Amino acid sequence: MMNLFATEVLEKEECHPGPDVCYPELDEGGVLPKKLWQYVNNNQPYFFRTLLTTIIFLFFFSLTAFCIKPDFVVAKDGSGDFKTVQEAINAVPDLRKEQTFIYIKNGVYKEKLILPDTKTNVKFVGQHADSVILTFDDYASKKNQSGKDIGTSCSASFFIHGNGFTAENITFENSSGPVGQAVAVRVAADRVKFLNCKFLGFQDTLYTWGYGAGARQYYKNCYIEGTVDFIFGSSTAVFEECRIYGKKAGYFTAASTPDSAKYGYVFIKCSIEGDAPPASFFLGRPWRPYAKTVFIDCTMTAIVKPEGWNNWRKESNEQTVFYGEYHSTGKGADKTMRVGWSHQLTKEQAAQYTLSNILYGWNVND
C-alpha cells in the first residue's frame, strides 16, 4: 500500500503554502503533491476519493500551523535579507540562548565561512540539499602572503566554532580538486548536527577538529565523499544512515581520539561504498595512538580491503587503538579476513553503543 505521507516537507520560509517554500512538488492547483493527486484520481471509487482528498487537505492545512519563520533569509538574487551567508552569520546576536534560524535559498555561495564561538545555537536550512552549495577552494599547500603553506586546518571552506550548530539540506564543498589536503568543513564546536547534508571533496574532506567528548557531533542521512583520510580528527561523532563514498583509493577514516574519550567515530546503519576499485579502501588508520572507530550494522561493498584496518606503519598502534565492527554485511564485510588486532563486537558490547552513551547524554532530537 502506498505511504501517502512519505513525501518530504521542507522547512518553510513563510507560513503560507508556496511552490518554492512549502512543498517541493505541487500540482497545478498548488496544494497537493503530484504523486498523491495522481494516486487519489487513479480509478478510485468516488467515496474513497472524496474521503482521501479531505484527509490530505486537513493534513497539509495542519502543517501551516507549525511553520517556522526564519530569522534571516539568504538569497543570491537579493530576494532575502542578505546575499551572502557570512552576512547572515554576522547578524546573529552573540551568545543567544534561543535558536537563530537562517534559511538559505538555492544557489552556489563561494565564501570562506566562519561561525565564531560567540554565535551559538545557529541553524542553517537549505531550500534543497543539492542546490544550496557552500563552497571554497583553498588547500593545504596554497601559499599565504608570507609565501608559506596555509596548512590543512586553514584550508577549510567552513569553520564551525559556535556550539549548538545545526545544518539541514545543504551541500558543503571544497572545490580545489585532488591537490592534497583540502577541508570542506572543520568542526570545533560541541553539539553539532548535520541532517541530510552533503560533504564534497577529496583528501581530508571532513575535519572533526574539536577535542573528544567536548566536541560531540551527529550526522544523519548525510553523504560524505573523499579519498585519503576524508573523515578525520579527534571529536566524538556518530554517523547514522549515511553514505560514506570512497573515490580512487585510500582510507575512510583517520581518527585521533584522545585516550580520555570512551568513544571516537561510530557508524550506525551506514553504506560504505564508492567508485574505487575492489579492495582499495581501508576502514581506517590511526592519526593518533588511541584512535577509536566502530561500524555497527553497516553495509560494505567490495571496495573495502579484506584486512579492514591499517596501523599507519606503526605496530605499537595495534596495542592502543580500538577498531571494531558488529554485523557488517556485503562483499567487503568478511570478518575472517580482518586484522587480528581489530574487534568483532558481541551483541552485548554492541548494545552499549546507544546515542545517549556515545554522546554523553546529549539528546540529538532536542
Cell numbers placing 200:
564534497
Catalytic residue among 149, 229, 297, 366: 229
Catalytic residue among 27, 204, 297, 366: 204
**Residues 110, 146 contacting (CB under 8 angstroms):** no
Scan for cell 521542507, then name that residue: 10
Count Cα atoms within 13 angstroms, Cβ side, for 125: 18
Apex 201 CA angle, 253 and 281, nearest 5: 35
Backbone angles phi, psi at 219, to 5 degrees: -120, 120
Cα R_g (the chain), whole angstroms = 22
Per-position b or e across 182-210, b if 16+ CB within 10 A of its CB:
bbbbbbbbbbbbbbbbbbbbbbbbbbbbb
138 catalytic per annotation? no
How many residues does this entry show for the chain?
Answer: 366
Scan for cell 588508520, then name that residue: 285
204 catalytic per annotation? yes
- Report d(CA 27, CA 39) in Å as an integer: 12
Catalytic amino acids?
204, 229
